[in-house]
Amino acid sequence: MTIPRNLRHVRVFLVVAELGSPTLAAEKCLVSQPAVTQALSKLEHAAGGALFERSRKGFFLTARGAVLRARLRRAMSRLDAALAEVTPRIAVTATASQLQALIAMVEAQNFTLAARQLGLAQPTVHRAITQLEQAAARPLFERTSFGVVATRACRELAQAARLAFSEFDQAETDLAEFDGREVGRIVVGALPLSRSVVLPEAVARFRAAHPNTRVTILDGPYDEMLGALRRGEIDFMIGAMREPLPIEDVTQEPLFVDHLTILARPGHPLAGQADIPLEVLVRHPWAVPRPGTPSREQFEALFESRGMPLPDSIVECGSILLIRELLLRSDLLGCISGQQAQAEVRNGLLVPLSTPIAWPGRQIGLTCRGDWVPTRAQALLLDAVRRAASAITTP
């Protein structure tokens, strides 16, 4: 099922749910009563059943209707607040297609590229933006030599529209779950440690019970995934938590504590030595995570705390798998998560070096949007992640 992105119909539905009367809703929404009837009929058809129990005393939400209202009320509350910041009038006139064109323009900063992204003709996108600006009685974009740049109010509106449309998608999943069907997709942003330690176990457990729910795992730099999370493109992230909190509209939930360790291949000149001092380690070549990651920050802080320069020979790599392979094929030392290296150490592929270093713990956890309400399937996957994390032991 697909809930139509007709914002006027959605507003009519929410007002009928609030007032319990199509007549009063027609008056409040400034539409005819037949228009209210038509809007409800289309939504009920899309939702797969009756949204109201109709009686002489009024219209009362069915259980299905309550499920739909919960999501749509969240979507429209977020969207209408952002529309009102632009101008109150635009809240009445803006359409979903216009807002989708706005989102594409904010991202592409070019009418041709935005049209290509939406699969529309360039004049169609230009017309949608012009209509929004005319309704707002103010420019939403600044035309510069570098492209079409969104104003602050426009960027905030685009963000609100993204999350509102995400709630529409969640509504479709909620209704399918209400009918006992598995549909929809869960998108997880996986930082390096979670991809090898927590997530495989959690996803395996979840898929065993819910084989028809699509799970997509995305990886990439933290900042990129955080942006996707805030736009509603990712449902939640798992990995090293950031301190302080990177931005106020997300929350973090700790799962377990991880510690770094220094590893090398079996037969490395330092393997088997006891209490290797930092003065010796600094003279060796290293493979370490790229700058900006919590692991790299701890690695650099180790030398800075002793007033020592960083090692001269460093390979920077965002892939823990590649770091492992480099260690196996060379005399490089690696600064790696102890949890991630457990399998290699257990199988004799890598060996931990004995050092007097007391690494501070890194909190590994979940990052979610602050006001996110998961679907039932998303909540079950989160529970599977928490159970998998609870079994983690310090290496």
pLDDT averaged over consecutive 10-residue blocks of the chain (395 residues)? 90 96 95 95 95 94 97 95 88 93 95 95 96 92 86 94 95 93 90 86 94 92 94 94 92 94 95 94 93 91 93 88 90 90 87 93 94 94 95 66
- pTM value is 0.85
Residue 52 phi/psi, 5-degree rounding, is -135, 145
Residue 174 phi/psi, 5-degree rounding, is -60, -45
Q: Which single residue is written with the structure tokens 């931005």?
A: 247
Q: Which single residue is written with the structure tokens 């910041």?
A: 85
pLDDT of residue 112: 94
Classify the C-alpha dihedral 174-180-184-189 as positive or negative: positive
List C-alpha distances in Å: 350 to 180, 218, 332, 333, 394: 48, 28, 12, 10, 18
pLDDT of residue 393: 61
pLDDT of residue 337: 87
Contact 203, 189 (CB under 8 A): no
DSSP 275-323: S--HHHHTTS-EEEPPTTSHHHHHHHHHHHTTT-PPPS-EEE-S-HHHH
Q: Which single residue is written with the structure tokens 């360790």?
A: 261
pLDDT of residue 193: 81
Residue ranges of domains in the chain, CATH in brackets: 7-159 (1.10.10.10), 182-257+364-390 (3.40.190.10), 260-360 (3.40.190.10)
Beta partners for 315? 287
Q: What does the DSSP 8-state code read for residue 361?
A: P
Whole-number Å distance between alpha carbons of 320 and 322: 5
